[in-house]
Amino acid sequence: MSSTSLRHDWQTDEILALFELPFNDLLFQAQQMHRRHFNPNAVQISTLLSIKTGHCPEDCAYCPQSVHHDAELEIESLLSVEEVRQKARQAKASGASRFCMGAAWKKPNDRNLEVVEAMVRAVREEGLETCVTLGMLEAHQAERLRDAGLDYYNHNIDTSPEYYGKIITTRTFEDRLETLGHVREAGLKVCSGGIIGMGEHRTDRARMLQSLANLPEHPHSVPINQLVQVEGTPLHGVDPTDPLEFVRTIAVARILMPQSMVRLSAGREAMSEAVQALCFFAGANSIFYGEKLLTTDNPETAADQALFTKLGLTPMQEDDIACC
Ligand code: SAM
Ligand code: DTB
Ligand code: SF4
Protein backbone atom coordinates (compact mmCIF):
# COMPACT_ATOMS: atom_id res chain seq x y z
CA MET A 1 0.00 0.00 0.00
CA SER A 2 1.66 3.26 -1.00
CA SER A 3 0.71 6.67 0.25
CA THR A 4 2.93 9.55 1.23
CA SER A 5 1.06 9.94 4.52
CA LEU A 6 2.04 6.45 5.64
CA ARG A 7 5.21 6.04 7.70
CA HIS A 8 7.89 3.47 6.95
CA ASP A 9 10.47 4.69 9.45
CA TRP A 10 9.12 3.48 12.77
CA GLN A 11 11.73 3.11 15.51
CA THR A 12 11.54 0.34 18.13
CA ASP A 13 11.36 2.75 21.08
CA GLU A 14 8.43 4.66 19.52
CA ILE A 15 6.54 1.40 19.09
CA LEU A 16 7.32 0.28 22.63
CA ALA A 17 6.05 3.65 23.86
CA LEU A 18 2.71 2.89 22.16
CA PHE A 19 2.60 -0.53 23.84
CA GLU A 20 3.25 1.15 27.19
CA LEU A 21 0.42 3.69 26.95
CA PRO A 22 -2.46 3.34 29.41
CA PHE A 23 -4.83 0.80 27.84
CA ASN A 24 -7.66 3.30 27.29
CA ASP A 25 -5.35 5.85 25.65
CA LEU A 26 -3.92 3.21 23.31
CA LEU A 27 -7.35 1.90 22.31
CA PHE A 28 -8.74 5.41 21.82
CA GLN A 29 -5.83 6.32 19.54
CA ALA A 30 -6.23 3.10 17.55
CA GLN A 31 -10.02 3.56 17.25
CA GLN A 32 -9.57 7.13 16.02
CA MET A 33 -7.10 5.93 13.38
CA HIS A 34 -9.44 3.12 12.43
CA ARG A 35 -12.40 5.48 11.91
CA ARG A 36 -10.31 7.72 9.68
CA HIS A 37 -9.86 4.92 7.17
CA PHE A 38 -12.67 2.41 7.62
CA ASN A 39 -16.28 1.97 8.59
CA PRO A 40 -15.63 0.80 12.19
CA ASN A 41 -18.59 -1.59 12.08
CA ALA A 42 -17.57 -3.50 8.96
CA VAL A 43 -15.50 -6.68 8.99
CA GLN A 44 -13.97 -8.43 5.99
CA ILE A 45 -14.67 -12.16 5.94
CA SER A 46 -12.31 -14.79 4.57
CA THR A 47 -12.59 -18.56 4.56
CA LEU A 48 -9.60 -20.87 4.74
CA LEU A 49 -8.98 -24.23 3.12
CA SER A 50 -5.97 -26.48 3.46
CA ILE A 51 -5.30 -27.71 -0.08
CA LYS A 52 -2.31 -29.87 0.94
CA THR A 53 -2.00 -30.99 4.52
CA GLY A 54 0.99 -32.17 6.56
CA HIS A 55 4.44 -33.66 5.85
CA CYS A 56 5.99 -30.22 5.60
CA PRO A 57 9.82 -30.26 5.66
CA GLU A 58 10.04 -26.97 7.61
CA ASP A 59 10.35 -27.13 11.41
CA CYS A 60 8.15 -24.20 12.54
CA ALA A 61 7.75 -24.86 16.28
CA TYR A 62 4.10 -23.78 16.31
CA CYS A 63 2.88 -25.86 13.39
CA PRO A 64 1.14 -29.25 13.54
CA GLN A 65 1.97 -29.83 9.85
CA SER A 66 5.73 -30.06 10.27
CA VAL A 67 7.28 -33.47 9.60
CA HIS A 68 9.66 -32.75 12.51
CA HIS A 69 6.87 -32.89 15.14
CA ASP A 70 4.40 -35.61 16.05
CA ALA A 71 1.06 -33.85 16.18
CA GLU A 72 -1.96 -35.95 15.34
CA LEU A 73 -2.95 -34.96 11.84
CA GLU A 74 -4.79 -36.26 8.80
CA ILE A 75 -2.23 -35.98 6.05
CA GLU A 76 -3.72 -35.07 2.69
CA SER A 77 -2.11 -34.71 -0.70
CA LEU A 78 -3.01 -31.87 -3.05
CA LEU A 79 -6.80 -31.58 -3.49
CA SER A 80 -8.38 -31.57 -6.92
CA VAL A 81 -9.52 -28.36 -8.59
CA GLU A 82 -13.13 -29.58 -8.41
CA GLU A 83 -12.94 -30.21 -4.64
CA VAL A 84 -11.66 -26.68 -4.17
CA ARG A 85 -14.38 -25.21 -6.40
CA GLN A 86 -17.08 -26.89 -4.27
CA LYS A 87 -15.59 -25.54 -1.04
CA ALA A 88 -15.35 -22.06 -2.53
CA ARG A 89 -18.99 -22.21 -3.60
CA GLN A 90 -20.00 -23.16 -0.03
CA ALA A 91 -17.83 -20.36 1.43
CA LYS A 92 -19.44 -17.81 -0.87
CA ALA A 93 -22.93 -19.04 0.07
CA SER A 94 -22.14 -18.57 3.76
CA GLY A 95 -20.97 -14.99 3.25
CA ALA A 96 -17.21 -15.04 2.66
CA SER A 97 -15.75 -12.54 0.19
CA ARG A 98 -12.26 -14.05 0.02
CA PHE A 99 -11.09 -17.64 -0.21
CA CYS A 100 -7.62 -18.45 1.18
CA MET A 101 -5.88 -21.67 0.24
CA GLY A 102 -2.92 -22.96 2.26
CA ALA A 103 -0.41 -25.66 1.39
CA ALA A 104 2.15 -27.28 3.69
CA TRP A 105 5.09 -26.75 1.37
CA LYS A 106 8.52 -25.23 1.90
CA LYS A 107 8.13 -24.01 -1.66
CA PRO A 108 5.94 -25.17 -4.53
CA ASN A 109 7.46 -26.80 -7.60
CA ASP A 110 6.31 -25.69 -11.03
CA ARG A 111 3.99 -28.71 -11.40
CA ASN A 112 2.29 -27.89 -8.08
CA LEU A 113 1.94 -24.33 -9.22
CA GLU A 114 0.05 -25.31 -12.37
CA VAL A 115 -2.64 -26.97 -10.22
CA VAL A 116 -2.82 -23.97 -7.87
CA GLU A 117 -3.23 -21.66 -10.89
CA ALA A 118 -6.23 -23.73 -11.98
CA MET A 119 -7.62 -23.51 -8.44
CA VAL A 120 -7.25 -19.74 -8.45
CA ARG A 121 -9.14 -19.51 -11.73
CA ALA A 122 -11.91 -21.78 -10.39
CA VAL A 123 -12.33 -19.76 -7.18
CA ARG A 124 -12.50 -16.52 -9.17
CA GLU A 125 -15.18 -18.06 -11.37
CA GLU A 126 -17.18 -18.62 -8.18
CA GLY A 127 -17.04 -14.87 -7.52
CA LEU A 128 -14.53 -14.77 -4.65
CA GLU A 129 -11.28 -12.92 -4.13
CA THR A 130 -8.34 -15.31 -3.95
CA CYS A 131 -5.42 -15.72 -1.56
CA VAL A 132 -2.86 -18.50 -1.41
CA THR A 133 -0.05 -19.35 0.99
CA LEU A 134 2.37 -21.88 -0.43
CA GLY A 135 5.71 -21.12 1.25
CA MET A 136 8.68 -19.53 -0.50
CA LEU A 137 8.26 -18.31 -4.07
CA GLU A 138 10.70 -17.41 -6.80
CA ALA A 139 10.07 -14.26 -8.81
CA HIS A 140 8.73 -16.10 -11.87
CA GLN A 141 6.34 -18.11 -9.70
CA ALA A 142 4.85 -14.95 -8.19
CA GLU A 143 4.37 -13.64 -11.74
CA ARG A 144 2.65 -16.85 -12.80
CA LEU A 145 0.22 -16.60 -9.90
CA ARG A 146 -0.49 -12.99 -10.78
CA ASP A 147 -1.19 -13.98 -14.38
CA ALA A 148 -3.62 -16.64 -13.15
CA GLY A 149 -5.58 -13.85 -11.46
CA LEU A 150 -4.44 -14.28 -7.85
CA ASP A 151 -5.29 -11.30 -5.62
CA TYR A 152 -3.30 -11.91 -2.38
CA TYR A 153 -0.28 -13.91 -1.29
CA ASN A 154 0.00 -14.74 2.43
CA HIS A 155 3.51 -15.10 3.80
CA ASN A 156 3.94 -14.36 7.50
CA ILE A 157 7.12 -13.12 9.13
CA ASP A 158 5.69 -14.66 12.32
CA THR A 159 7.90 -12.93 14.91
CA SER A 160 10.81 -10.53 15.36
CA PRO A 161 14.04 -11.00 13.41
CA GLU A 162 15.77 -11.68 16.76
CA TYR A 163 13.34 -14.39 17.94
CA TYR A 164 12.96 -16.07 14.53
CA GLY A 165 15.75 -18.62 15.05
CA LYS A 166 14.12 -19.83 18.27
CA ILE A 167 10.98 -20.77 16.32
CA ILE A 168 12.23 -21.93 12.91
CA THR A 169 15.66 -23.24 11.95
CA THR A 170 15.02 -24.54 8.42
CA ARG A 171 14.78 -21.05 6.88
CA THR A 172 15.68 -17.50 7.84
CA PHE A 173 13.82 -14.26 8.41
CA GLU A 174 15.63 -12.92 5.31
CA ASP A 175 14.23 -15.80 3.21
CA ARG A 176 10.77 -14.60 4.21
CA LEU A 177 11.56 -11.00 3.22
CA GLU A 178 12.90 -12.19 -0.12
CA THR A 179 9.64 -13.94 -1.02
CA LEU A 180 7.66 -10.91 0.15
CA GLY A 181 9.77 -8.84 -2.26
CA HIS A 182 8.97 -11.16 -5.19
CA VAL A 183 5.27 -11.03 -4.34
CA ARG A 184 5.25 -7.22 -4.08
CA GLU A 185 7.25 -6.78 -7.29
CA ALA A 186 4.87 -9.06 -9.18
CA GLY A 187 2.08 -6.67 -8.19
CA LEU A 188 0.23 -9.13 -5.96
CA LYS A 189 -1.31 -7.80 -2.76
CA VAL A 190 0.72 -8.81 0.27
CA CYS A 191 -0.82 -10.48 3.32
CA SER A 192 1.78 -10.76 6.08
CA GLY A 193 1.63 -10.88 9.85
CA GLY A 194 2.61 -13.13 12.70
CA ILE A 195 1.84 -15.09 15.83
CA ILE A 196 1.51 -13.88 19.42
CA GLY A 197 1.98 -16.23 22.37
CA MET A 198 5.10 -18.18 21.38
CA GLY A 199 7.03 -17.16 24.50
CA GLU A 200 8.28 -13.97 22.82
CA HIS A 201 8.73 -10.70 24.72
CA ARG A 202 6.93 -7.43 24.11
CA THR A 203 10.04 -6.18 22.32
CA ASP A 204 9.66 -9.05 19.84
CA ARG A 205 6.05 -8.11 19.22
CA ALA A 206 7.15 -4.52 18.66
CA ARG A 207 10.00 -5.56 16.35
CA MET A 208 7.69 -7.80 14.34
CA LEU A 209 5.22 -4.95 13.76
CA GLN A 210 8.14 -2.62 12.99
CA SER A 211 9.42 -5.06 10.33
CA LEU A 212 5.97 -5.10 8.70
CA ALA A 213 5.37 -1.34 8.88
CA ASN A 214 8.82 -0.52 7.54
CA LEU A 215 8.49 -2.70 4.43
CA PRO A 216 8.54 -0.60 1.23
CA GLU A 217 4.72 -0.87 1.25
CA HIS A 218 2.52 -1.77 4.20
CA PRO A 219 0.97 -5.21 3.65
CA HIS A 220 -2.64 -4.89 2.46
CA SER A 221 -3.59 -7.42 5.07
CA VAL A 222 -1.90 -8.08 8.44
CA PRO A 223 -3.00 -11.30 10.14
CA ILE A 224 -2.36 -11.33 13.87
CA ASN A 225 -2.63 -14.93 15.04
CA GLN A 226 -2.80 -16.05 18.63
CA LEU A 227 -0.85 -19.30 18.90
CA VAL A 228 -3.13 -22.32 18.70
CA GLN A 229 -1.31 -24.74 20.97
CA VAL A 230 -1.30 -28.19 19.39
CA GLU A 231 -0.18 -31.28 21.28
CA GLY A 232 2.96 -32.77 19.78
CA THR A 233 4.39 -29.40 18.69
CA PRO A 234 7.33 -27.90 20.63
CA LEU A 235 5.26 -24.88 21.65
CA HIS A 236 2.53 -26.94 23.27
CA GLY A 237 2.38 -25.90 26.93
CA VAL A 238 4.13 -22.55 26.55
CA ASP A 239 2.76 -19.82 28.89
CA PRO A 240 -0.02 -18.02 27.01
CA THR A 241 0.19 -14.27 26.48
CA ASP A 242 -2.21 -12.11 28.50
CA PRO A 243 -5.30 -11.45 26.33
CA LEU A 244 -5.02 -7.70 26.98
CA GLU A 245 -1.47 -7.77 25.59
CA PHE A 246 -2.93 -9.42 22.47
CA VAL A 247 -5.44 -6.56 22.22
CA ARG A 248 -2.60 -4.06 22.61
CA THR A 249 -0.75 -5.75 19.73
CA ILE A 250 -3.81 -5.32 17.49
CA ALA A 251 -4.07 -1.65 18.48
CA VAL A 252 -0.41 -0.97 17.74
CA ALA A 253 -0.72 -2.74 14.36
CA ARG A 254 -3.69 -0.48 13.54
CA ILE A 255 -1.75 2.68 14.46
CA LEU A 256 1.39 1.69 12.54
CA MET A 257 -0.46 0.46 9.43
CA PRO A 258 -3.62 2.61 9.35
CA GLN A 259 -4.84 1.59 5.88
CA SER A 260 -4.16 -2.14 6.17
CA MET A 261 -6.75 -4.73 6.98
CA VAL A 262 -5.76 -6.06 10.40
CA ARG A 263 -6.98 -9.62 10.72
CA LEU A 264 -7.95 -11.16 14.03
CA SER A 265 -6.69 -14.48 12.73
CA ALA A 266 -6.08 -17.87 14.39
CA GLY A 267 -6.87 -18.31 18.08
CA ARG A 268 -10.45 -16.96 18.24
CA GLU A 269 -11.74 -20.38 19.33
CA ALA A 270 -9.88 -19.93 22.64
CA MET A 271 -10.88 -16.25 23.02
CA SER A 272 -13.89 -14.90 24.90
CA GLU A 273 -16.41 -12.76 23.02
CA ALA A 274 -15.30 -9.85 25.21
CA VAL A 275 -11.67 -10.13 24.08
CA GLN A 276 -12.73 -10.42 20.43
CA ALA A 277 -14.93 -7.32 20.88
CA LEU A 278 -11.92 -5.45 22.29
CA CYS A 279 -9.85 -6.55 19.28
CA PHE A 280 -12.49 -5.10 16.93
CA PHE A 281 -12.48 -1.89 18.98
CA ALA A 282 -8.67 -1.82 18.76
CA GLY A 283 -8.89 -1.85 14.97
CA ALA A 284 -9.15 -5.44 13.81
CA ASN A 285 -11.41 -5.51 10.75
CA SER A 286 -11.01 -8.91 9.21
CA ILE A 287 -11.52 -12.51 10.38
CA PHE A 288 -11.41 -16.09 9.23
CA TYR A 289 -14.94 -17.43 9.15
CA GLY A 290 -15.86 -21.10 8.97
CA GLU A 291 -15.48 -23.95 11.40
CA LYS A 292 -11.93 -24.86 10.49
CA LEU A 293 -8.73 -22.88 9.99
CA LEU A 294 -6.22 -25.11 8.19
CA THR A 295 -6.08 -28.07 10.56
CA THR A 296 -7.45 -26.65 13.84
CA ASP A 297 -10.87 -25.45 14.96
CA ASN A 298 -12.32 -21.99 14.44
CA PRO A 299 -15.58 -20.83 16.10
CA GLU A 300 -18.85 -22.27 14.78
CA THR A 301 -20.39 -20.06 12.12
CA ALA A 302 -23.60 -19.70 14.18
CA ALA A 303 -21.53 -18.38 17.11
CA ASP A 304 -19.81 -15.86 14.83
CA GLN A 305 -23.13 -14.75 13.38
CA ALA A 306 -24.46 -14.24 16.91
CA LEU A 307 -21.36 -12.25 17.86
CA PHE A 308 -21.71 -10.04 14.76
CA THR A 309 -25.35 -9.36 15.67
CA LYS A 310 -24.45 -8.58 19.28
CA LEU A 311 -21.75 -6.12 18.19
CA GLY A 312 -23.65 -4.65 15.23
CA LEU A 313 -20.91 -5.73 12.81
CA THR A 314 -21.61 -6.25 9.11
CA PRO A 315 -19.63 -7.88 6.28
CA MET A 316 -17.37 -5.30 4.64
CA GLN A 317 -18.36 -3.72 1.31
CA GLU A 318 -16.19 -1.60 -0.94
CA ASP A 319 -17.60 1.67 0.34
CA ASP A 320 -16.61 0.77 3.92
CA ILE A 321 -13.03 1.68 3.01
CA ALA A 322 -12.25 5.38 2.85
CA CYS A 323 -9.91 6.38 0.11
CA CYS A 324 -6.47 7.62 1.35
N1 SAM B 1 3.57 -23.38 4.56
C2 SAM B 1 3.23 -22.05 4.27
C3 SAM B 1 3.97 -21.06 5.13
O4 SAM B 1 4.40 -21.38 6.21
O5 SAM B 1 4.07 -19.91 4.69
C6 SAM B 1 1.75 -21.78 4.36
C7 SAM B 1 0.92 -22.41 5.43
S8 SAM B 1 1.30 -21.94 7.11
C9 SAM B 1 0.32 -23.06 8.03
C10 SAM B 1 0.56 -20.33 7.27
C11 SAM B 1 0.69 -19.60 8.58
O12 SAM B 1 -0.15 -20.18 9.57
C13 SAM B 1 2.04 -19.59 9.25
O14 SAM B 1 2.89 -18.65 8.71
C15 SAM B 1 1.68 -19.23 10.68
O16 SAM B 1 1.75 -17.83 10.86
C17 SAM B 1 0.24 -19.71 10.82
N18 SAM B 1 0.14 -20.80 11.79
C19 SAM B 1 0.54 -22.09 11.61
N20 SAM B 1 0.31 -22.83 12.71
C21 SAM B 1 -0.23 -21.99 13.63
C22 SAM B 1 -0.67 -22.16 14.97
N23 SAM B 1 -0.56 -23.33 15.59
N24 SAM B 1 -1.18 -21.09 15.61
C25 SAM B 1 -1.28 -19.89 14.98
N26 SAM B 1 -0.87 -19.68 13.72
C27 SAM B 1 -0.35 -20.71 13.05
C1 DTB C 1 -2.61 -16.80 8.83
O2 DTB C 1 -1.94 -15.82 9.23
N3 DTB C 1 -3.25 -17.65 9.62
C4 DTB C 1 -3.88 -18.69 8.86
C5 DTB C 1 -3.58 -18.27 7.41
N6 DTB C 1 -2.75 -17.13 7.57
C7 DTB C 1 -3.06 -19.23 6.45
C8 DTB C 1 -3.46 -20.06 9.27
C9 DTB C 1 -3.73 -20.35 10.72
C10 DTB C 1 -3.37 -21.76 10.98
C11 DTB C 1 -3.68 -22.18 12.39
C12 DTB C 1 -3.29 -23.57 12.65
C13 DTB C 1 -3.99 -24.59 11.80
O14 DTB C 1 -5.23 -24.57 11.68
O15 DTB C 1 -3.30 -25.48 11.28
FE1 SF4 D 1 5.27 -25.91 6.91
FE2 SF4 D 1 3.98 -23.57 6.85
FE3 SF4 D 1 3.64 -25.30 8.89
FE4 SF4 D 1 5.95 -24.04 8.67
S5 SF4 D 1 3.95 -23.08 9.02
S6 SF4 D 1 5.69 -26.24 9.08
S7 SF4 D 1 6.17 -23.91 6.47
S8 SF4 D 1 3.06 -25.62 6.80
Using alpha carbons only, give the angle 214, 168, 261 rounded to the nearest 5 degrees. 40
The one catalytic residue in 191, 205, 207, 248 is 191
Instruction: Quote the ligand 2 centre to 6 CA distance (angstroms).
Output: 28
Our answer on whether the CB atom of 135 is closer than 6 Å to any ligand 3 atom is: yes
Mean predicted confidence (pLDDT) in 39-54 = 95
Residues 6+ apart with CB under 8 A from 256: 7, 10, 15, 18, 209, 210, 212, 213
Atom of ligand 1 nearest to the CA of 136: 5
Our answer on whether the CB atom of 103 is closer than 6 Å to any ligand 3 atom is: no
Contact between residue 227 and residue 198 where contact means Cβ atoms under 8 Å apart: yes
pLDDT (tens digit per residue) in 266-279:
999 999 999 999 99
Instruction: Quote the ligand 3 centre to 232 CA distance (angstroms).
Output: 15
279 is catalytic: no
Mean predicted confidence (pLDDT) in 61-78 = 95
124 is catalytic: no
Our answer on whether the CB atom of 54 is closer than 6 Å to any ligand 2 atom is: no
Which residue's CA lies nearest to atom 11 of ligand 1? 156
Instruction: Quote the ligand 1 centre to 164 CA distance (angstroms).
Output: 14
60 is catalytic: yes
56 is catalytic: yes
Ligand nearest to the CA of 240: 1
Q: Render 207-275 in DSSP notation, one character per residue.
A: HHHHHHHTSSS--SEEEEEEP---TTSTTTTPPPPPHHHHHHHHHHHHHHSTTSEEEE-TTGGGS-HHH
Instruction: Quote the ligand 1 centre to 63 CA distance (angstroms).
Output: 6
Our answer on whether the CB atom of 249 is closer than 6 Å to any ligand 3 atom is: no
Q: What is the pTM of this model?
A: 0.96
Instruction: Quote the ligand 1 centre to 301 CA distance (angstroms).
Output: 22
pLDDT (tens digit per residue) in 176-227:
999 999 999 999 999 999 999 999 999 999 999 999 999 999 999 999 999 9
* Share above pLDDT 90 across residues of the chain, in percent, rounded to a whole number: 92
* Share above pLDDT 70 across residues of the chain, in percent, rounded to a whole number: 98
Q: How confident is the model at residue 317 (pLDDT cuts 50, 70, 90)?
A: confident
Mean predicted confidence (pLDDT) in 152-172 = 98
131 is catalytic: yes
Please determine, for residue 114, whether its predicted confidence score (pLDDT) is greater than 90. yes
Distance of CA 124 to the CA centre of its chain: 20
100 is catalytic: yes
| Cα–Cα distance for residue pair 107/113, rounded to 1 Å | 10
Mean predicted confidence (pLDDT) in 25-44 = 96
